[in-house]
Amino acid sequence: MKKFDTFNRQADRSGTVQGLDSFEVQAFDLMLSRAREVFDLNREEPRTRDRYGRGGLGEQLLLARRLCEAGVGFVTLHHGGWDMHGQIAQGMKTLGTQVDHAVAAFLEDVSDRGLDREILLVITGEFGRTPRVNPGAGRDHWAPLSTLALAGGGLKMGQVVGESSAKAEVPRSTPITPQDLMATVFHVLGIPQDLHYKDQGGRPVPMINGGKPIAELV
């Protein structure tokens, strides 16, 4: 909080804000305006804070909701500890309970505020886990199959999309790729599917290459 108090004066004195592109200007606008209020969870009602849980993932999701309400278009949270190469049962009991509680509180809160069609929650990792338990009672990295969860954003909820093989090794139904997930997020945000950016050589590069919004959701 002390850094936020002095940041405005330091930025003005150094001329840092001059010459920034539009995206950087948005970031500075956030920090120089309502940032102190948004990041101050003490401004929330005690009952709301208790609903999410004090500390940990609950407070991160509460802060994410406050950032979205303040106009932040994209918020990323990291909740680690899932690389369970050993003792996966105990690890899931601990982390799974935290996620269940925090995500349920977030979705209920967002719905109560009438924001469930405006905010899309995406829960995902970068890969799945091996179908077989290893000698250490854990599961290792597995690229061919993983799962993710989406909630809100005006998408069609309350369904399971896709099916795995009997032993959860590979997709049995048509695979959904990371590019398809990205296209779905673009759909929710109203970003053109054919959006390009220019690399350092000035060559136009597509943001989405072959991906399409998940048909069952849109």
Q: What is the pLDDT of residues 144-192, one digit of tens each?
A: 999 999 999 999 999 999 999 999 999 999 999 999 999 999 999 999 9
More confident residue, 52 or 6: 52
Distance of alpha carbon 175 from alpha carbon 170, whole angstroms: 9
Distance of alpha carbon 128 from alpha carbon 28, whole angstroms: 37
Distance of alpha carbon 106 from alpha carbon 193, whole angstroms: 29
CB-side exposure of 5: number of CA atoms within 13 Å?
Answer: 3
E strand residue ranges, 50-177: 120-123, 128-129, 141-142, 149-152
Distance of alpha carbon 21 from alpha carbon 5, whole angstroms: 24
Question: With bands split at pLDDT 50, 70 and 90, how would you rate the model's confidence at 5?
Answer: low
Distance of alpha carbon 71 from alpha carbon 111, whole angstroms: 17
pLDDT surpassing 90 at residue 24? no
CB-side exposure of 210: number of CA atoms within 13 Å?
Answer: 3
pLDDT surpassing 80 at residue 131? yes
- High-pLDDT (> 90) share of the chain, %: 77
Question: With bands split at pLDDT 50, 70 and 90, how would you rate the model's confidence at 194?
Answer: very high
45 within 8 A of 26, measured Cβ to Cβ: no
- Residue 98 has what pLDDT? 95
More confident residue, 19 or 90: 90
As a whole number, the mean pLDDT across the chain is 90
- Residue 19 has what pLDDT? 56
- High-pLDDT (> 70) share of the chain, %: 90
Question: With bands split at pLDDT 50, 70 and 90, how would you rate the model's confidence at 37?
Answer: confident
- Residue 15 has what pLDDT? 56
177 within 8 A of 208, measured Cβ to Cβ: no
What is the SS3 assignment for 196?
strand
- For tokens 């091996």, name the residue: 130
